[in-house]
Structure 1
Amino acid sequence: MPEPAERKPSFIVRWGTLIFGDIRSYIVTAILGAIGLYFWPDEVPGSTYSIPVNVHGYALPLPGLLRNATREDPAMSYRTDPEDLAQTLVCEATTITGKNAHQLLMQYVDLYKDCFSLDEKSKTEIAIRPNTQSGVMRHDARGWFCKCSSAN
């Protein structure tokens, strides 16, 4: 007796199983993608700028911050008013973070808002001035001092 010929699935059934497999993989990929997006960090880590103090307890961060911000965006104009304000000595160590050099400078000025005030002349020109209202900023023959005791 001859063996019955093996019955092949029809063209439609074969394509249906292939498409169903594709749809299932798309659904799994979409679910895994949604989970990945849900747990993705909101804030991209940026640059960190450490401000250490020397053996005498002083730090001089403003010249470096101004230089980095100017290098990063030459179209921006950063200056201190008066000019020697850039040499302000700060008597505490800290670390600031930001996405770029401009934000690092803005974080620094905000951190020491008792010492500095920001004057945005235009979208491309920023001046940093001393905040003499707080009593934390001092100026004498030796220069500018922020958050330094008179004993230093």
Structure 2
Amino acid sequence: MSDELIDWLRAQIEARKVVAEAAAREGDNPVWQDGGEYVYADRDTYPGGTTYIAVGPWDGPVPDAVRAHLVLNDPRDVIARCRAELAELDMIDAIPHQRVEDDDWWSCAQARDERGELACGNDCRAGGPCDCGRDPLVSRLLRAKAYGYSHRPGWREEWRP
């Protein structure tokens, strides 16, 4: 389950990052700002001057909450958050199974040595299910992280935290 979940989650984050990078390239990574009634790209960073990002209906004002949301989710911010989320996924995926180097008998059944080979000295447990708690921890961390993307296609209810 963890491999499918991490692959799906990584794809969601990467897709979000690609869209934000494309939006940033449109205006040479402009800073989105609250213009009081609209959201605009900063004239100093957008080629050709100020460009409106969002205006209200029939040229009316953009509601306060919507303006605040847009400004807090400009492409720079989304790209930075996606990079952080991908780094977190890498860290979660790299959490090792417990290995007791002094006495491999006590190592997790799924512990690996530097060559990637099983390092559990207990032949009855070696290669069996994780018995150090790493897999349940990784599962909980991934489920919690993925829940923020539960509205996306491909989400499975079994991944709910």
Question: TM-score higher than 0.5 here?
Answer: no
Larger Rg: 1
Q: Give me the TM-score of the superposition, normalised by structure 1.
A: 0.26
User: Counting strand residues as a fraction of each chain, which structure ranks higher?
Assistant: 1
User: Counting helix residues as a fraction of each chain, which structure ranks higher?
Assistant: 2
Higher RCO (CA < 8 A, seq sep 6+): 1
Q: Give me the TM-score of the superposition, normalised by structure 2.
A: 0.25
